[in-house]
Structure 1
Amino acid sequence: MTVIATVGLPGSGKGEAATQAEDLGIPVVTMGDVIRQACRDRGLDPAEHHGAVAQALREENGPGAIAEASLPQIEAHLQDEDVVLVDGVRSGVEVDQFEEAFGEDFVLVSIEAPFEVRKDRLTERGRDNLDGESLEDRDERELGFGMGEAMERADVRIENTESLEAFQERIRDVIETEIDGDLGAAAGSGDGTTVIDEGGTETDDDATTDGGRSPTDDGTSPTDGAVYKVDVEVTAPVYPTEVTDRVADAIHNLFPEAEIEHREGELAGTAHSMERFSELLHEREILDTARDQFFANRRGDTVSFDLKKQAAFEGLVNFAVGQPDEVGELHVRVRVDEPSVEAYVDHVAPRTEDGRPVGSE
């Protein structure tokens, strides 16, 4: 018995993964069906009210309500089938429920693609503005449910950035491997996440590593050998309804080396590196956006910018521009001692050509 669940932001490829499972004769349980049925029960059009009803269900019945409602259907399929695919996990709470129900027989697959790639796909399908929501708004809503945590806990991570055929092949490989029972054993071993990249190569990804871009003790960048001397200050409000440690985690998610100081009504962190922050900019492919923010708010040897706290809770970078974040913002101030602001910005968020960092292979 194996339960494979997929998690991913809109446009990442979860629906295509479900299609490939069905083509292999594997039953698919779509968690969104629970929401669509709830819409109909309330006399609402699922096409217009899907997001609002999903949020209402979680508020009314708890964050695991949709996963709980999906369990009977999953268990019914397992009476006759060895493998079931669950489409649409959205939070760490839902992962907890499935792990409790199925133990080591539960495998979570995160399907990932950069924002611009997903936006192009949804635009082509005419689904870039569902329920009156932009993709940015939909991402923020999903992350508010806790999707970022769920993606971080995945046993297998598939990068969906190439052709449809290449993605279909990778999905089928994962499913067929799971049918053979190999992937399930690996998932329960605690040996780390299996990453399947654009070329179909599998690697083990230890969640405690940072891709080789973490700073060395002497301030030397491991990627270019240069020495950068910077002072990073991060402040974040702590509201009466918030858990202080969670706000501290939001800072550490983006600046893991930060030393946190508790002040009245806020936390303040100091660091001397932005390597992890730079990694996150590369992963989300928002280098140009970052450069614009850095230089728009430059004053002499200092740049400052604001980040949405809600995204930081999930380990993601989302610049706060225009509309304020309802849970507040992280204010970041970076003073560059050496070598210069321009050189440091080029290091953290290099210029791009044709969507790729200048100088990348």
Structure 2
Amino acid sequence: MNREAADRQRAFTALLRSPVLDRHTHPELWPLVRVHRATLGEWFAQRLGYRLVVTGSAARLFRLPLDGVVVAPRRFMPPARRVVVLTILAAAAAEDAEDITTTQDLSDRVRALSTHEDVELAHYDPDRFAERMLFVKAVHLLVSVGALRPTGRDDEDQREGWARRRDAIGGAYEVRRELLLRLVDPASLRAALTGGHDEGAPHEAAARIGLMRKLVELPVVLHEDLTDAERFYLTGQRHRVLNWCVEMTGWVVEQRAEGLALIAADETDTDLPFPRLRAADFAALMVLDELVRAHGAGSVITAVELSSAATAVRERHFKAMTNDLRVGNAVENTARDLLGALDLLRPTGAPDSWRLTAAAARYRDPRVVAVNARLDEEGEG
């Protein structure tokens, strides 16, 4: 593979990972996006039905809904609803702020905005520490999407320091109005309001886009999860589809009887690598193995069986557990949430009932190796 093709793949996968890229925060990736923007735009539009907007200093990928659905899975442990609400209010406040603003300035503006008679939301109360902590998370979320750019120090200690001190101005930020206004563009808003229904779209195009989105966005694609039209398209266009996946990402397509998976070359290319060298992943992996060995992939698991497996793992590997995993139902809850996000443990629709998907067998019989370093709940290996 030549350098140009490799650069296109880097740019494509980077946009999947970070839908907002700009020349300031991504100096190595931004030139690749600029150079290959025509090809990238075609790939996203024709193969995935997404919208890529590239300006003079930034790029924004919009994952438009298709038939009212956005295939990309929800972020694992997404921001709380209140944080999202405060982020939207802070974005509106930033539009009227000076080019350089501060956490305190945005907080004052949001406080005034939230009390407006036309804003039917719970009033933002910066006199409460808990509320201030939620607000700094909201500001950080705006930084992550490029709408605000720190002009100096911007770390967790600095943000928490503002939350604890009533006389601090907090971090200073450049208001990046171009990206602020790109949080929602007309095409994305129209797609969101109409549910992404395009009556004029050819049947084959909808099947192609739906199939490609599932392959690129999901951990694994089971044949049972495809629509009839997507299965028919895959049957007739399998070679083309798999070549597209490799061309865009450089990753490996793994084909099994039950489905397909696009395996990322590096764990940084996925939003939820598993298993990482941390206690939560270790606990979830061992619970998964316990369930697979006892019941087999494809089996339906009850809450009692999940709890029993979690208890067995906690007792067998007690020394490997961090303090927060040693109490109550922590191992069970951690395993359920993480394995669910990975689509290894799928809700059946019945109360307290899940199914082990076929991909769960991929993780059977893990080899446990003792290491000197302690597993870190927050660290990554």
TM-score clears 0.5: no
TM category (shorter chain) comes to under 0.3
Larger radius of gyration: 2
TM-score normalised according to structure 1 size: 0.24
- Which structure has greater strand proportion? 1
TM-score normalised according to structure 2 size: 0.23
- Which structure has greater helix proportion? 2
